[in-house]
Structure 1
Amino acid sequence: MSQSNQKSEEIQNFLTRPYLFYPILLFLFVFLVDKLFFLEKVRDYLKTEFTYIYYDVKKDLLKELIQKYGSQATHKSPKKLVILLGSSRLLYFKNQEILDFYPDWDVYNFSSAVTTPAYYLFFLERMMEGGVKPDFLVMEADPFQFNANSTTFKKSNLANSFDLRFVLSYAWTLGRENVNYYLGNTIFGVSKNKPYLSNVVNRLTNKKFEMAELVKQMTIDTLYKDQGNAISPAGAFFERDFGRLEDSSIRTIGWIYPKYAPSEMQFEFYEKILKLVKERHIPTIVVRPEVSLPLENLLASMKIPAPWKERILPINRSYGIPLLELAESKDYECNSFADSGHMAVDCYRPFLRFLRLHFPHSVQ
């Protein structure tokens, strides 16, 4: 039998046996069902918390910012553009106070929960590509953002921000594990929004989620209206019990400082940021927000801040960009905390004054 006849017979046998298609059809069915887990309604029933909404809104605000201040903007605002990039420690400015005290500022807050230098670089690169040049850039830096053993980078930044172009552009820096994690979350819905049935049952049976849904919508509305500034979940509360601050410090250590070790990846991203803003002549300061005394003492006993400073300060000096610690600054004074790691809302007013005092004179 000739080779061509043999191949023809094999194809005919395959076509006459439909069960050979079953694995392909099954794969396609499962793949399509998996896409349901990307739907927002499905996601809301699977998630136990709503951290992802901060990341979703900030991406939309990035588009708004580029339309308003980018190279294609038709009527740019005469106000001074101030960009905030931080974690939840820079998230709760009151937009109305900014408008009241500094009406010549237009502040966009891209801070989000548990951010890292990689997150900052993503947003800054997209701003620059869109032709946005801030008059003043304020970035947060803290040792927790440089912890190689923290899982929060994956669960927060990789799971909710970035795009494929960014991940592939910095694949070597991110490493194979992080790239695979991102691709898995991008391609498979059950990876991004894990289908834990217990969460669904709680959502359907527990009425507290009705209130959670209301708080979620209020948060989203405020983020859009106030250009990234958020409602504080603690409201005007500040912790008066020193013992509770000590307990909260232990929980914070276990959450974002566990098994602390410096992340070479995040230091590399951090240096890329400073190089970028230096090349683009963007006035920039880096701030380390104050944390409660029990947490600072606990961090010091674990020898976390000192080696971090020894590593990061020379980087800042090499680019001529100051790193200012609120706990040591004469231009800031507030000692109220919502928990061990977050200043109370009342402290954002002196923080705002601190930023005004460090606003670059060249763009006053």
Structure 2
Amino acid sequence: MEAMKSFFFYKPFLYLLLFLFAEKVLLIPAVRERFTVASGVDFDVHAIEGEEELSRKDQKQIWVFGTSRSVPFGRTPSVRDIQETPGLNQEQREQLERHRIYSFSLSASIPVVFLHHYLYLREKGYRPDLVWIEVSSFAFNENYSLRRSYIGEVSPDAFIMRHLDRYPPRFLKEWLTARLFVGSIFPPTVQDDSTRFMNKAFNPLAVTRTSMYRPVARTLRLEKDRSAEEFPDLSSDSNYRALLQRVYGEWLFSDYTADAMALDSLDYLIAELEKDGIPFVLWTPPVHQNFTRIEQESGVERPFTSIVNRLRKGDRRYVRISTDSMQCRLFTDESHLADVCYTELAAILIDSSK
């Protein structure tokens, strides 16, 4: 009888020990990849190819923080783009020639990653003359599908430990929880080899790199680039609508809830910029009207409007760009403006920063 009482007394502690043991086993990369939803992608957010380019003083520097919608600024506009893109006036060409744009954007990224990059670059002694910060609705959704990956797989642990006071408490709480309890951010599951391969192959971090080198060639229209009118009609094509709902509605906007951690992260970045006396522009990129419809049907419009209103408080510059105000109106897909349009987009953003 005494033995049974002792067993029941210690039973909760045994369960706790088993739980902690299982959690620590999940710290082993091979185990975490097979038995959780972690992608297994080895990504260093501070690995910047050609970082020495940031030491150049011959042009004013614009730093860009954002998602895949800001990635093209890493390659466009080139010198030939500035010279040959139609529709720009002479003042815009001269403005573009005086600036050099560096994009630290990552596909599917979230605002705390912007903060990782900025703090690292300033610690290295680099300083921009202007910063563009992308404000896209999905990046502020607490239930966005890749949010956990960017907290659990991208966070630079040693760097964060040295700069705890420069990160928002909400982020530190989630980051620390992710490190102590892997299962809290990567729910346990069993992945076979093919599933693991697909998760890694389709994770944007698997193909992403940050480079400061810029091409010199002209940016051309690609075969996949289409005008707004060339996309299917969302109202009359039910299969197309269902596809967009799966790709965008479920992946980006599922149970859309304003992410307090994302807002805090951007507030911390803006506070750093204001402390350093660096001007910045908050901007929302143009998307195809079909994407906007999916946003609206997913209940994004009202909470995202509140998010934008909070971010643009005071005299902060904010611009929401529509292709209605552009001469170049081509899209790679519903969510992305074509690269060939980014020279004009850069000119608009420089004008907006004045």
Aligned length: 295
Residue aligned with 2:148, SS: helix
**Corresponding residue of 2:70:** 90
Is the CA contact (8 Å cut-off) linking 1:117 and 1:145 kept in structure 2? yes
Q: 1:36 to 1:300 in 2, by over 3 A?
A: closer
Q: Cα distance, 1:287 vs. partner?
A: 1.0
Structure 1 equivalent of residue 5 of structure 2: none
CA shift in 2, pair 1:310/1:79, >3 Å: same
Go from structure 1 to structure 2 and tell me whether the alpha carbon gap of 1:328 and 1:339 turns closer, same or farther (over 3 Å shift). Answer: closer
Distance 1:236 1:93, change over 3 A: farther
| 8 Å contact from structure 2 (residues 291, 335) kept in 1 | yes
- Name the residue aligned to 2:277: 281
Partner of 1:242: 232
* Counterpart secondary structure, 2:72: coil
- Counterparts of 1:205-244 in structure 2, within 5 Å, are 223-224=210-211, 226=213, 236-239=223-226, 240-243=230-233
User: Normalization by structure 1: what TM-score?
Assistant: 0.65
Q: What residue is the counterpart of 2:120 in the other structure?
A: 126
Which residue identity is paired with 1:323? Y
Structure 2: which amino acid aligns with 1:280?
D
Which of these residues, 314, 318, 321, is aligned with residue 323 of structure 1? 318
Gaps of 5+ in 2: 1-20, 83-95, 235-239
CA separation of 1:34 and 1:275: change in aligned 2, threshold 3 A? closer
Unaligned runs of 5+ in 1: 1-26, 204-208
CA contact (8 A) 2:168 2:261 kept: no
Q: Deviations over 1:50-95 (max 9, x none)?
A: 9x58x54x52218x54x554xxx6xx42211111111011112462
| 2:270 pairs with 1:290 | no
Structure 1 vs Structure 2: percent identity of aligned residues? 15
| Partner Cα distance (1:117, 1:201) in 2 | 27
Tell me the SS of whatever aligns to 1:291. Answer: coil
- 1:355 & 1:136 partners in 2: Cα distance? 11
Check conservation: 1:313, 1:323, Cα contact below 8 A.
no
Aligned residue identity for 1:125: L
- 2:255 alignment counterpart: 259
How many Å apart are 1:236 and its aligned residue? 4.2
State the match for 1:106 in structure 2.
Answer: 100
SS at match of 2:138: helix
- How many angstroms does 1:356 deviate by? 3.5
Aligned to 1:356, the other structure's residue is in SS state helix
Matched AA of 1:81 = Q
Change (3 A) 1:140 1:200: closer
Contact 1:316 1:322 in 2 (8 A): yes
Q: Indicate the residue corresponding to 2:88 in structure 1.
A: none
1:33-182 matches, cutoff 5 A? 34=28, 56=44, 59-61=46-48, 65=51, 67=52, 69=54, 76-93=56-73, 95=75, 97-100=77-80, 101=82, 102-166=96-160, 169=165, 170=167, 172-174=169-171, 176-182=173-179
Q: Secondary structure at the match of 2:100?
A: strand
Provide the secondary structure at the position in 2 that maps to 1:134.
coil
Q: Deviations over 1:188-226 (max 9, x none)?
A: 9xx79x9944238979xxxxx9xx8xxx99x67x85363
- Counterpart for residue 9 of structure 2: none
Query: What SS class does the counterpart of residue 46 from structure 2 fall into?
Result: helix
> What displacement does 1:354 show?
1.7
Distance 2:264 2:61 in 1: 27
Contact 2:133 2:281 in 1 (8 A): yes
Residue 344 of structure 2: aligned partner: 350
Relative contact order (alpha carbons < 8 A, sep ≥ 6): 1 or 2 greater?
2
Letter in 2 for 1:241: F
1:289-311 alpha-carbon deviations (Å, 9 max, x no partner):
11111221232244422332233
Asked if the contact 1:249–1:341 (Cα under 8 Å) also holds between the matched residues in 2, the reply is no
SS in 2 for 1:237: coil
CA distance in 2, matches of 1:165, 1:276: 17
For residues 296-350 of structure 1, the C-alpha deviation after alignment (integer angstroms, 9 at most, x for no partner) is 12322444223322333243232x22111112874x3443222221222232232
The offset of 1:155, in angstroms, is 1.6
- What CA RMSD, in Å, does the superposition of the two structures yield over aligned residues? 4.2
Matched residues in 1 for 2:38 and 2:59: separation? 40
Mapped to 2, the partners of 1:48 and 1:344 lie a distance apart of 31
Change in Cα spacing, 1:157 to 1:354, as seen in structure 2 (3 Å) is farther
